[in-house]
Amino acid sequence: MMKNLQDTVTLYNGVKMPGFGLGVFKVEEGKELVEAVKNAIKHGYRSIDTAAIYGNEEGVGVGVKEALEENNLRREDLFITSKVWNDGLNYEETISAYEESLKKLGLDYLDLYLIHWPGKDQYKESWRALETLYKEGKVKAIGVSNFEVHHLEALLKQAEIKPMINQVEYHPRLTQSEVKAFCEENEIRFEAWSPLMQGELLQNEELTHIAKHHGKSVAQIILRWDVQNGVITIPKSTKEHRIIENANIFDFQLTKEEMQQISSLNKNRRVGPNPNEFNF
């Protein structure tokens, strides 16, 4: 289990990935985005997660470049993730989308590249392209996002290289136990997007009670729950004090009873689309 913000988890191919990072979903291009990325890196974050559809890869790239210079870091000290959108899921389109993301980010390679959504069986050609990018050393790790068990089973039947990551919506109202168990059985690391349920859980009475007991915020309790569950997590924030607070979760531990209490809040409730219905 992670003991500090610099701790990593090891993907099955040996690549070490930070277990905690910054997500930038719904953060528009501009100064706020650049400063968020810079502040995260300044305060010890080493993983930044973006995607083509977010429309903010250029700003992320600027923030990364300036943060490297200002903090005397090397590119290999950071772990940068992006994702191919559903309008580019054949082989050639995926390769082109990767190159476009790389260009916008101003980078020579990505650490992790994901298929953003399964769509309707469109991902198979796209996965073959990701395998090519991986074999050519253009990306350190490849994976998927929002894949259910049946999507993963279908992909594993035809994949030469199995995914290293499955990034899904995951929070106390959507614990995804079946998907999580399948990923663990197949050495696919489980990563949470929207771990705070886009703020909907921050006033929850049970979580507030646990937070008060530990002298922490509800957000910190949820993110600690992620970490103790062995889940990679990428909370979004643009405020410097929140970026610092979110990562301040390594000086306490939830009890077994508290972990179970938080997990029991599950209602299979999503704030994002259902992968089985969302076909773009």
Task: Give the residue numbers marked as catalytic.
Answer: 54
Task: Give residue for tokens 């035809």.
Answer: 158
In the chain the first and final C-alpha atoms are separated, in Å, by 37
Torsional sign, CA 265, 267, 271, 273: positive
Query: Using an 8 Å Cβ cutoff, are 115 and 149 in contact?
Result: no
Q: Which helix (H) or strand (E) holds 133?
A: helix 123-135
At residue 99, what are phi and psi to the nearest 5 degrees? -65, -35
Closest of 94, 26, 87 to residue 56, by C-alpha:
26
Neighbours of 135 (CB within 10 A): 12
Specify the 3-state DSSP secondary structure of 6.
Answer: coil
At residue 90, what are phi and psi to the nearest 5 degrees? -90, 175
Count of H-run helices and E-run strands, the chain: 10, 10
Query: What is the maximal distance between C-alpha atoms in the chain?
Result: 54
Residue 38 in tokens: 């810079």
